[in-house]
Structure 1
């Protein structure tokens, strides 16, 4: 049982003025005292709302620190790549020229495959373009695209032995450093430029080789010269001279060899080796019997009618 003792407050108008002021001061002190105690009170609901906010703030700062570390590592890697590859406007041996849509190479550049959309490989003035391959072929392919299919239409192959093979090309031109045309496959007859007196090749596949009327045509080699034609070889001239340090070989696979001259054919047999007659060579004539068709031979200089009687093979 709780007993409450309450003092009945007298009306303010009944109390004297000094008592009324004292009562007002007490009420103000009680209100101030109660307010200070309310400031230190925290409800459980407020605690539940404060803890998630603190954890979210902590995770946010952790994420910021991680991103800063990743950015720092990325910057270090970027500067390392720039220093190793020497990247700038280009690379160590490569420069990009965006204004002219060009790529300029310096020094020696080792590349595996190069794809050029416009098909132009050019060098600057007084700087020739050199394409080399170590112990392998240097191949330049011209590719044609149609949808997803790609095939080679023309190509240039430079072999390790120095021979160059050009296939499926309608026109091929060679120019000097001043831009003057040295060779072009567009002309049916190839003429040496002025000042060029000698053409040094290892293999030449042509249908005809000729010289001007008042000039000599000289074909020579330090090792050997081989002239061959799929349908024969014909050599014409005012004077034809063949000379060799060792052997001259004339051979026809399925035909004959004709040596004809307006004033005869001269063979210098002074240094030509001749076969000595070490023994007699027997020669025979082949004969056939008219009625029986029997074949027999007779020793030269006898004739087929030299046999009669029992020795006649046609009897």
Structure 2
């Protein structure tokens, strides 16, 4: 009677393809192993008839090639990330600015180059004790307001020698320490802060410039000073002194130039240059200043070379229709 540990030999083990002699030898060997107590229950296994698992041959090369490519991509990604961190200075915060989401604040710590900035609350603030500087490279700096209809309206334009506001209710400049209003368009009296005695500007557009009581107001320029009024210019003072290295021009386009003083207006005629005679003892074409009496109105008349300059002011007698004193 066969033991329960006897192995059942099936056609799948390869006997279906073996010859009759090989089958007889195999059966003899199996019986011999079963009869031996030391090897009972064991069947010899032919390694070539076993099913092999895992990667073999070309599949092995393809697998390791894929692993190598993935490793190279991971290394390249790590290097690129390190470069981005180095360029943008992304550590706990960036070098130029820091984002505080809890307070909805972005802090700029250095020079930052930005094309456009959109602020929902419209506030741009600096650090205490440090000025905030906004510059434009080869162009102006514009501040626009987004209205309820989604349209942009230009409110502020800053460029060389000009700061232009438009479409605003008021504009105020505050002292950063005390919070006191230094300048406001609601009360457009610009007073120099304490300790400031001079202000240097290229162009100033205003309707009035005054100095404190019993203080001197001085307008000075290294090249030239020009006072211009669209509807006239009026200068008042206890004493008005005009001084220039070369020329002083007084010009009125549509009206007259009026000098008025309580104690009279004096002209130092000794220092007024006069035209000299030419080599042939004749006067070159020139003008002569005349005065109307008793009005005190000054006017000029042309003097031709063949005319006596002492009689030039009598033009009102010769040509009464062009009398400047009327």
Coarse TM-score class (shorter-chain normalised): 0.5 to 0.7
Alignment-derived partner of residue 123 in structure 1:
126
CA, structure 1 residues 237+38, in 2 after alignment: closer, same or farther (shift >3 Å)? same
Query: Matched residue of 1:78: which SS?
Result: helix
Q: Compare 198-207 and 92-101 and name the one that shifted more.
A: 92-101
Q: Which runs of 5+ in 2 are unaligned?
A: 16-50, 278-282, 284-304, 310-314, 321-326
TM-score of the superposed pair, with normalisation by structure 2: 0.61
What's the counterpart of residue 154 of structure 2? Answer: 153
Cα distance, 1:301–1:201 mapped onto 2, change above 3 Å: closer
> Are the equivalent residues in 1 in contact too, given 2:88–2:95 (CA < 8 A)?
yes
1:274–1:86 distance in 2 versus 1, CA, 3 Å:
same
State the distance in 2 between where 1:176 and 1:300 align.
62
Question: Which structure 2 residues correspond to residues 241-260 of structure 1 after superposition, within 5 A?
Answer: 241-260=241-260
Question: SS of the counterpart of 1:84?
Answer: helix
> Normalization by structure 1: what TM-score?
0.63
* 8 Å Cα contact 1:131/1:138 also seen in 2: no
Find the counterpart in structure 2 of residue 275 from structure 1. 275
Secondary structure of 1:83's aligned partner: helix
**C-alpha distance in structure 2 between counterparts of 1:244 and 1:101, whole Å:** 58
Residues 142 and 154, structure 2, Cα contact 8 Å, conserved in 1: no
1:202: Cα distance to partner? 1.9
**Are 2:97 and 2:107, in contact at CA under 8 Å, matched by a contact in 1?**
yes
Q: Secondary structure at the match of 1:270?
A: helix
Structure-2 change in CA distance of 1:83 and 1:222 (3 Å): closer
Change in CA separation of 1:76 and 1:145 when aligned onto 2, cut-off 3 Å: farther
Check the 8 A contact 1:173/1:185 in 2, yes or no: yes
Provide structure 1 residue ranges, at least 5 long, that are not aligned to the other structure.
1-24, 43-49, 284-298, 305-315
Query: Of the two, which has the highest radius of gyration?
Result: 1
> Are 2:96 and 2:109, in contact at CA under 8 Å, matched by a contact in 1?
yes
Residue pair 2:147, 2:153 contacting (<8 A) in 1 also: no
Aligned position for 2:187: 187
1:217-272 residue CA offsets vs partner (Å, 9 max, x unmatched): 32222222111111111222332222222211111112111112111111123332
Structure 1 residue 187: Cα displacement: 0.9
Q: Alpha-carbon deviation of 1:72?
A: 5.7
Cα drift, residue 141 of structure 1: 1.3
Q: CA 1:103 to 1:280, structure 2 compared with 1: closer, same or farther past 3 Å?
A: same
Note closer, same or farther for the CA distance 1:170–1:276 as it changes in structure 2 (3 Å cut).
farther
Structure 2 CA distance for partners of 1:84 and 1:36, relative to 1, 3 Å: farther
